[in-house]
Amino acid sequence: MTRKILILNGPNLNLLGTREPEVYGTATLDDIVAGLVITAGERAELRHVQSNNEGELIEAIHQARDTSDGIVFNPGAFTHTSIALRDAVSGVEIPVVETHLSNVHAREEFRHTSYLTAVCVGVVAGFGANSYTLALEALLAHLDG
């Protein structure tokens, strides 16, 4: 069965590959999404949304309720601030995998808290671009039961 998966990226992730390669790697977001399409193969049809706007991310999550089987979500810095995104994730009944390029727990203390983790099926962090691949595999396995 071909699953429909939303790849959702939050603020500043459009800058990937242009700055801070020591923290976030050299791959651009387009590179990451292209790799995910290969990983998904026939198993999943991917849709990608990146927004720097919290409201647009909330709208994308709401829309996914009717159009997607699950979400790979890197909320960026909103991870550590947004009760509104948490409420959006807990309000949709599809599984969401919280995904981070960096190991947020090895960084500044303010990155150790996530408002999202408790309402996600799981978290992948610290593996650079490969975090997305691992998150997609975990989401597809979760959907397959």
Edge-first strand order for the sheet with 70-74 is 44-50, 3-9, 70-74, 96-100, 122-125
Q: Is 24 a catalytic residue?
A: yes
Q: How far is the CB of 66 from ligand CA2 (least distance, A)?
A: 26
Q: Which of 3, 4, 111, 142 binds ligand CA2 (CB under 6 A)?
A: 111
CA dist 30 and 28 (Å) reads 5
- Within positions 33 to 62, which residues make up the interface with ligand CA2, using CB under 6 A? none
SS3 100: strand
Report which secondary-structure segment, H or E, holds 70.
Answer: strand 70-74
Binding mask 64-103 for ligand CA2 (x = CB under 6 A): ----------x-xx-x--------------------xxx-
Q: How far is the CB of 119 from ligand CA2 (least distance, A)?
A: 16
Q: CB within 8 A of 62, min separation 6: which ones? A: 88, 91, 92
Q: Is 105 a catalytic residue?
A: no
Contact positions vs ligand CA2 (CB under 6 A):
12-13, 15-16, 19-20, 24, 74, 76-77, 79, 100-102, 104, 111
